[in-house]
Structure 1
Amino acid sequence: MSRAAIVVAAVACAACSGRMPVLDPGGPQAARIATYWWIVFWLSALILAAVVAFLLHTLAHRRVAAAPASLVEDTRVERRLALGVAAAVGLTALTLVVLLVTSVATGRALRSFGGTDPLTLEVTGYQWWWDVEYWDPVPSQRVRTANEIHIPVGRPVLVKTRSLDVIHSFWVPGLHGKKDNIPGHGSSLVLQADRAGTFIGRCAEFCGVQHAHMQLLVIADQPEVFDAWLQAQRRSAVVPTDAFARHGFDLFMTGPCALCHTVLGTPAGGRRGPDLTHLASRRTLAAGTLPNTVGHLAGWIIDPQAQKPGAQMPGNAFGADDLSALLAFLGGLS
């Protein structure tokens, strides 16, 4: 295969990982957006069918060009032309009115969602991952995670979004439309899941070389399952008592890891990278780039640039025994 063909294939597949069913709504906001999309689709299809039918009719009944038999004005032809133009203008105006009315109605409906007791999240976009904080008036009860959002089924969720580097766009098509995150400007949206399941989201605004690998998961749990998850996430990490895992703990705290990452209950309080307090409970690594397995985690620690070129995380030169100990410690952060 030629280099050009490889480049074309790579570009075509750059953001195709993971299934994002944009017309399979999982909540009321996404359902309103999908309804509007279908209205636009069927109106467009109807207009296309009418234009094609008119063209085919014209081709089937075309006449051979010839000099007119008379130069006298034919009022019947003029009347038919006038009626045709009027009908075209009227149908066009009607279509625009229908689209305008449904667009305004959809926008108002999306703004009206909110409920009386929404769960509040603060989502911050970075190149190229998502920081997620579950807000609580009591600071000690707040939960911070990354690239993975759990929400309760049937409860509105107020998502406050922002960016601290470049423009990002928060998009979970199964639950809501896109919301741009512009540095220096906060924005928000309310989403809700009406059924349990996992909804794939990602950044929808080109934000750099790893834009296609800036994914997130929104996991809708039954309320009791969500409450149990939230309580577990509030707990601090437990310092390992096993000698091997304790060696990994010491490596983490004395090495570069603690400079960028937070692990609650330990001296590690870095904010440059994702919070790792409950790393082992997450499904993916590097914002959906890799599954969260021991092998992928080891490869990510040693050479993240091989997995996600341009990522902020540097490589680490751990020996085999030290790496195994570090993995044992990280594997216990559940």
Structure 2
Amino acid sequence: MTETAIELVGVTKRFGSLTAVDDLSLQVERGEIFGLLGPNGSGKTTIINMISGLSRPSSGHVKVLGIDLLKDPREIRRSLGTVPQENALYEELTAEANLRFHADLFDVPRHGLERKITALLELAQLEERRKSRVATFSGGMKRRLALVRAMLHEPELLYFDEPTLGVDVQSRHALWDRILELKDRGTTVLITSNYLEEANALCDRLAIIDRGRLVALDSPSKLRRSFGDTVVEMRTHPAPGEDIVQKVLALPGVVSAVTSDGSLKVTVEGGSDVTGRVVTAVVDSTSLEEIQSREPSLDEVFLSLTGKELRE
């Protein structure tokens, strides 16, 4: 059995004169939770369509679970469990009936099906509502049902598009727990998300895509560290001007310096010595009223790499 769940080698996808994916190569290992991030229009949907066997590359090679996309896209689709943004549940049917319909669709053997449905409803904490119409469920309940429905035919690879979109905080964390349990069982999970805290909480590795190209690939912690060790935010009086920004940028170990809402935000690498020099430079030029330091966030890494808000 190959250790690679998804393999893209030199993949390009064109739509007329538009190049949606540009010479992309990446691998997703079996058993990992892998995040695919990028601003709208970056090529994420096109990549997912190829991985799902719904679209073919203009050039390059795509393999999913060892299956060549060009040879057997149908088998790829049958080996993949999908939880799209829209839950796509039959709301006039019960939770149990939704699962039975999915079982028929994917030719799940009847032997042991009742036991499997019960186990999945228990996992989703919906066993007491198995005979209830889905239309009566909350958003979090529907999302949990959509998750276990995708697990019913025991796919080796599960894809989630915005796993916790539109659910409350309690349901979000419950869904995160379920996804982490999938990894513990050896399932490979692919996630696209506009919620960077979610990507940080769940993903072993993240690929950041922009204009169809891979701009970064690493674990969330290493991506944050690549942006710098520490972010120092300082409020001054008067508000910091361009002269202070340029003075700070000239210091060794300063990665970036920007002003926002009367504050100066400086990203540094090199620890407390660099931070001390930054503070000294600011105090020499203006009056320091407030200072805070923290680790860089994935949002800052994303913006530095793409220059865009994730939700653009």
TM-score if structure 1 supplies the norm length? 0.22
More strand by share: 2
Report the structure number with the largest CA radius of gyration: 1
More relative contact order, 1 or 2 (CA 8 Å, 6+ apart): 2
TM-score if structure 2 supplies the norm length? 0.23
